[in-house]
Structure 1
Amino acid sequence: MSPVIALHEDLQKRLEEYRSTRGFSPVKWIEHKCAALNEYMASHGLKVCVTSVSGGIDSAVVLALCSRAMRMPNSPIVRNVGICQPICSSAWALARGRENIQSCGALEVIVDQTELHKQLSRIVETAVGIDGQNFARGQLRSYMRTPVAYYVAQLYSQEGNAAIVMGTGNMDEDGYLAYFCKAGDGVVDVQLISDLHKSEVFLVAQELGVPANTLQASPSADLWEGQTDEEELGFPYDFVELYTGWCLQLSDEERQSFLHSLSSDARQQYEKYKDACENTHRRNAHKLRGPINL
């Protein structure tokens, strides 16, 4: 799989213009989001936040936001729980996940389902008569983490501390690409970072003090050794931000003018990344619509 080439300078210039117009302030956003979370928790009688922690930047930010909200005056949150669920996972994923939990003072829960995954996949494959390939077994890993997160939430609720499962999807990956597992990390109660571009997630992470091991790592779903999200997708997250935040908002006339303003190399890269981006969106769009009622 070929490394993804960063945005051409022509496209990078447009991206910086868009970011300037957006004027994102991580400090103001954090304050607003934590207040909104506390208000929601209080109005619904909720006391515990449960987050599946992967070792990636998104879950680290959500967990840290819950901790920040919990420390605010009169917060209804009494527990902030981070769950690490290694299933045939790389060592770095668990190490980073635990570091992220400890750095923000959350409660650590580790549930290793590796052997259960091996047993369950084998049982199902034998019953169906089909051997599962890497992608199918990888999806099962995500499926299996969902009931654990909700069971942890149920256990806290059972003890009188009503709990919810927090989502970790951002605007680029989940909002447009639908780059998530429909019955896995797509099943949550509340999304905190769905209004953030991936670049903004990193800015918030810096402000919240997310550990450097996570901040400096290339985003990866840990699907295989050395896998990175951008290489799998075939385009950088910066392009998704540019395309969804700026290009899709243009009129047809404005878009044509923009394309004509690009150098040949920049236009070629734009078309290549646009096609790959749109293909991913179309392929995954069913995840954004929910069940189809016929």
Structure 2
Amino acid sequence: MTNSDTFQAEKINQHIVKWLLDYATNAKVNGFVVGISGGIDSALTSTLCAQTGLPTLCVEMPIHQAESHVNRANEHIAQLKNRFPNVFSERVDLTPVFETFKLQVPSSENEAKLNLSLANTRARLRMTSLYYLGGIHGLLVAGTGNKVEDFGVGFFTKYGDGGVDISPIADLVKSEVRLLAKHLQVPESILVAKPTDGLFGDDRSDEDQIGANYDELEWAMNQKENGKTIEDFSGREAEVFKIYSRLNSINQHKINPIPVCKIPKDFK
């Protein structure tokens, strides 16, 4: 877990904002579009984008969403619009789209696989909506994934919340996200909320799904990067290290670039 005494929040803040501004300028786009979930990652990402002074579109996209998520998302959007004149918002209710989709595709008797496929479908419908809005307004889709999610355990939907143009906070672990979000005055309700992907229409947290919290996963990520193995730990530490290692292994297809079958030159 990152030491708050050594974390240089303002320097990191300015670095990311400059990076965003330079990227958008070089790409010749108008600004950014961010999906707002009511969680800390999207709140931080949208605040960083807003600081560039470029148009920043915050989009709430409920699909049978838990009321607590919707309330936090709306609180953040209202606060951001009050702080930054370049922020505007849209609400895209994807619940009827999702229900129509379910009517048009075959179901499955395997309830676990069905529920996971439908959860990922929610994320992909949101990605499609963000790119639609980005297209008509000339905006880049800003990703909201942090380092542990994107490069540690692969806790995101491929071509869902993983389908983005840029990733401004993907080199920050969760404890760093918390510190920077607090520095940038993200609403307290978001700072203290349990992280959740919001893909199941209830209040289940990321920890409920993964079996470990982000502080534990961050610890395991550091241990693995330092060459530790399961034999180095016991008890809860061994359990967490095993959870992290399993997810890191099975989600390499998300973490690594798409494999390309290279054809020998003398075949063509």
Q: TM-score per shorter chain, which class?
A: 0.7 to 0.9
Cα shift at 1:251: 5.0
Matched residue count: 254
* Partner of residue 13, structure 2: 30
Contact preservation (8 Å) 2:24, 2:30? yes
Cα shift at 1:226: 2.8
| C-alpha separation in 2, matches of 1:250 and 1:20 | 18
Cα shift at 1:224: 4.5
* Partner of residue 134, structure 1: 115
| C-alpha separation in 1, matches of 2:110 and 2:241 | 36
Largest Rg, 1 or 2: 1
Which of 69, 81, 96 lines up with 2:52 in the alignment?
69
Structure 1 residue 52 corresponds to structure 2 residue 29: no
| One-letter amino acid matched to 2:215 | D
Which residues of structure 1 form unaligned runs of 5+? 1-14, 71-76, 158-162, 260-265
Identify if the C-alpha distance between structure 1 residues 117 and 20 changes in structure 2 by more than 3 Å, giving closer, same or farther.
closer
Cα shift at 1:267: 2.8
| C-alpha separation in 2, matches of 1:202 and 1:244 | 17
Contact preservation (8 Å) 2:196, 2:205? yes
Contact preservation (8 Å) 1:178, 1:281? yes
Identify if the C-alpha distance between structure 1 residues 22 and 284 changes in structure 2 by more than 3 Å, giving closer, same or farther.
farther
* Partner of residue 128, structure 2: 147
User: 1:194-233 counterparts in 2 under 5 A?
Assistant: 194-222=170-198, 223-233=200-210
Cα shift at 1:174: 1.2
Could you tell me the TM-score, scaled by structure 1's length? Answer: 0.80
Contact preservation (8 Å) 1:63, 1:101? no
Cα shift at 1:41: 1.4
* Partner of residue 100, structure 2: 119
* Partner of residue 64, structure 2: 88
User: 1:197-276 counterparts in 2 under 5 A?
Assistant: 197-222=173-198, 223-245=200-222, 247-250=223-226, 259=232, 267-276=234-243
Identify if the C-alpha distance between structure 1 residues 104 and 130 changes in structure 2 by more than 3 Å, giving closer, same or farther.
same
* Partner of residue 6, structure 1: none
Which residues of structure 2 form unaligned runs of 5+? 82-86, 262-268
Cα shift at 1:69: 2.0
Identify if the C-alpha distance between structure 1 residues 43 and 238 changes in structure 2 by more than 3 Å, giving closer, same or farther.
same
Task: Describe the superposition over 1:93-142 as per-residue Cα deviations: whole angstroms up to 9, x where unpaired.
Answer: 2221121112112211000010111111111127x999873222111111
| C-alpha separation in 2, matches of 1:275 and 1:66 | 36
Q: What is the aligned-residue RMSD (CA, Å)?
A: 2.4
Identify if the C-alpha distance between structure 1 residues 22 and 273 changes in structure 2 by more than 3 Å, giving closer, same or farther.
farther
* Partner of residue 179, structure 1: 155
Task: Describe the superposition over 1:174-210 as per-residue Cα deviations: whole angstroms up to 9, x where unpaired.
Answer: 1211100001000000100011010111111111111
* Partner of residue 42, structure 1: 25
| C-alpha separation in 1, matches of 2:140 and 2:166 | 8
Identify if the C-alpha distance between structure 1 residues 103 and 280 changes in structure 2 by more than 3 Å, giving closer, same or farther.
same
Contact preservation (8 Å) 1:98, 1:108? no
| One-letter amino acid matched to 1:293 | V
Which has the higher relative contact order, 1 or 2, with Cα contacts under 8 A spaced 6 or more apart? 1
Cα shift at 1:59: 0.3
Identify if the C-alpha distance between structure 1 residues 251 and 115 changes in structure 2 by more than 3 Å, giving closer, same or farther.
closer
